[in-house]
Amino acid sequence: MTPDAAREKFTTARSAHLATADSSGTPHLVPIVFALHSNQIAFAIDHKPKRTQNLRRLRNIAQNDRVSVLVDHYDEDWTQLWWSRADGRATISHDPPAQWLTRLTTRYPQYAETPPQGPLVLITVERWQGWSYQAAGHDGVPR
C-alpha cells in the first residue's frame, strides 16, 4: 500500500490505537478517537471515566515524543483485511487551538454536549505506512 493509500484508509477509521513508549522504551497502547487534517492527527483527553488524570500516555509523550497510531479493519473474509499506521512526533497542548476541538466535535457528536476539557495531543505524521490484502499478492507480500 502506498503512503497516500495508507493515509486515505486512515481517514475512514472511527477509532485508532495510540502507541507510546517511556524514556526506557517500555511500550504503552491505548485506544483513541481522533481528528485528522493534512498530516496532523489530534486527540484530546475527554470526560470518559479514567482512573486518574495523570495518564501514562501523556507522561510517555512528555518523555519521548515519538508515537505510532494504528487503524485496522478486520473481516472474516480475509481479502478485506487492511491496516494503516501513522508514525510521528507528538506535542501536548493545554490550550488547544479551537479548530482542533471543532474538528473533534464535528467528527464525534458525543463531544457536542461535553467537549473535551483535558489537554489535546497533536501528532505531526512523518511517515504513513499500510498493508491490505488487496494490495498484496496471494502470498501476503506487498507488491
pTM, two decimal places? 0.89
pLDDT at residue 49 greater than cutoff 80:
no
Q: Quick one: pLDDT band at residue 51, thresholds 50, 70, 90?
A: low
Domain count of the fold of the chain: 1
Write the pLDDT tens digit of every residue in 98-110.
Answer: 899 999 999 999 9
In 3-state terms the chain splits into helix, strand, coil percentages (rounded to 5) of: 25, 40, 40
Q: Is 142 domain-assigned?
A: no
76-85 per-position pLDDT tens digit? 999 999 999 9
- 109 three-state secondary structure: coil
What is the rounded CA–CA span in Å between residue 65 and residue 82? 26
**59 within domain boundaries:** yes
The enclosing domain of 31 has a CATH number of 2.30.110.10
Domain with 81 in it: 3-132
pLDDT exceeds cutoff 90 at 141: no
